[in-house]
A and B are shown apart, each in its own frame.
Chain A
Amino acid sequence: MDHNTYIEQYLSAQVDGELSAAELRDAEEHLAGCVNCRVRFAEERAVKTLLRERAELRRIPPQVRGSILAALDAVDAAGAAPRVRDRAARADRAGWFSARRARVWVPAAMAAVAVFAFVMLHGGNPPQAHAFAPFDVAIQNYAQFDDHFEPNVKSSTPADISDAYMEHQLPGFLWNFNQRGYKLIGARIDRVPDGSPIAFTFYRGDNGTILCTYMKSHGVRPPPGETQDATAQNAYGAGEHHYYEYKGYSVCLSSQQNGFICILVSHRPMHEFVEDVVDSAP
């Protein structure tokens, strides 16, 4: 292992105790023969310690703690704290779901996901951008919703939609494209045949629309065929957002909490779409 490899790929993780046993052996072997890196290791650990000591936890003021406990009391008193067995009934009361059957393009897509998984597992040629089933799910629904979006989450406030998503163990994060001129129109939650939830959040602006789709990742990896000039705009942590020009749509793929992926789709030209996403990214 050379000096730079150790500094860039091992040093921090070693100080944080995040190396595997094999990696740790390699790192220690390098340190044993490299006095410069031993100094860097000591400095790295000192910075970590300094940060932990100086950026110490603040004590919550008693009045703030008191108001939180009072708010919890109020929730208990109102009986609003949910219990799991009440979930379905509460969802009804909250009016989150319309009675109407979901008009959402799912079953064929999930079959396509299975095909995709089969291809990956059996070492077929890597799928090209024209054959990525989750994108097909997203763009088919986008094509439909762009004409007419019918929310089944009754509220269109971000907090309520986030609550509804969390209630279904979907990621609680909602994209906010406000500063790019898009308004949050609404959201809907449906189920795919395996019972897992799929969620759609729809945004409309003067210059176009964006659909965010959350679905279970089923372990899929970003496909090849990424739009190269867009990845350069990920100033930090390249690899979080993957951009594709896919069947005439601009598409962005990212991973989310709880094993979900997020697929953003728009008719916007790729360079404008990338700006929308980069400016709004968390």
Chain B
Amino acid sequence: MADKSGTGADRRKRFEDEALPHLDALYTMALRLARNPDDANDLLQETVLRAYRFFHQFESGTNCRAWMLTILFNNFRNGYRKASREQPASSAEEFDRKVEGESLRVDPAGSNPEALLSGQGMEGEVETALAALSEEFREALLLVDVEELSYQEVSGVLNVPIGTVKSRVSRGRAMLRDALAGFARERGIIRT
């Protein structure tokens, strides 16, 4: 457990050492959730202040980033979500149509199957494919692949059973793979 008997200065120091290194991660997720910088800044600030206020509940030795992301998601859902919620794709078919609609550019670059794996020439497409995923899949993938949380930690952040995390990651990554393969085909990076 965290040391709960420290002075205010100790507490601030521990917070700066353990929590503030995750500000970039939190800021990135706040931007993705709120979808505009002003709301993201508000969401981030509220999250950090609440984390500071409840820092005595954080258990040293556990993942501070996961703990703060839990607060961030709770704050977002308590206050921000409805205003900025986009319509998620409700099915794989709808998802495919969304991706298709956003991937009409064709680049006659040389055909190169290896390029898909290296991501060469796919700078904007990852974001486009990610944005076309519904929130459930996107959040799970970002938390696992970008924030590098375990399924158990994501289960806590998103408030869903671990089996749900597993299936969201699996389905989300399959949809992302298909979308990226589609982009690569259209751009001539791969042929099939």
| Chain A residues close to B by CB (< 8 Å) | 8-9, 11-13, 16, 18, 42-44, 46-60, 64-65, 67-68, 71-72, 75-76, 79-85, 158-159, 162-163, 166-167, 169, 171-174, 176, 178-179, 235-237, 239-240, 255-257, 282
Contacts and interface: CB of A to CB of B under 8 A. Distances in A.
B109 to A, nearest CB: 17
Interface of B: 4-5, 8, 11-12, 15, 23-25, 27-28, 31, 41, 44-46, 48-50, 52-54, 56-57, 70-71, 73-75, 77-79, 81-82, 90, 116-117, 119, 122-123, 126-127, 130, 134, 136-137, 141-142, 144-146, 148, 150-151, 156, 158-161, 163-164, 166-170, 173, 176-177, 180
Given A179-B82, A256-B159, A18 B45 contact: no
Nearest to A236: B136
B28 A51 contact: no
A60 B22 CA distance: 10
Contacts of A85: 4-5
A232 to B, nearest CB: 13
A280 to B, nearest CB: 9
A42 B134 CA distance: 25
If over half of B's interface residues share one DSSP class (helix, strand or loop), that class is named, otherwise mixed; here it is helix
What are the 5 tightest A-B residue pairs by CB atom distance, in nearest-first order?
A: A237-B164, A54-B126, A12-B170, A46-B117, A60-B27
Given A58-B27, A64-B27, 12 more contacts: A9-B170, A50-B119, A57-B146, A60-B27, A68-B45, A76-B8, A81-B12, A83-B11, A176-B82, A237-B160, A255-B161, A257-B70
19 contacts: A12-B173, A42-B117, A47-B177, A51-B141, A54-B126, A58-B24, A58-B27, A58-B31, A72-B48, A82-B54, A82-B56, A85-B4, A162-B78, A172-B74, A236-B136, A239-B164, A240-B160, A257-B156, A282-B81
A55 B127 contact: yes
A124 B118 CA distance: 56
Interface centre among B27, B44, B79, B159 (most CB of A within 10 A): B159
A167 B137 CA distance: 31
B166 A18 contact: yes
Nearest to A258: B156
Contacts of A174: 77-78
A179 B48 CA distance: 28
Nearest to B27: A60
Contacts of B4: 83-85
A68 B27 CA distance: 11
A53 B173 contact: no
A255 B119 CA distance: 38
Contact of B151 (A16, A166, A171, A172): A16
B79 A48 contact: no
A268 B77 CA distance: 24
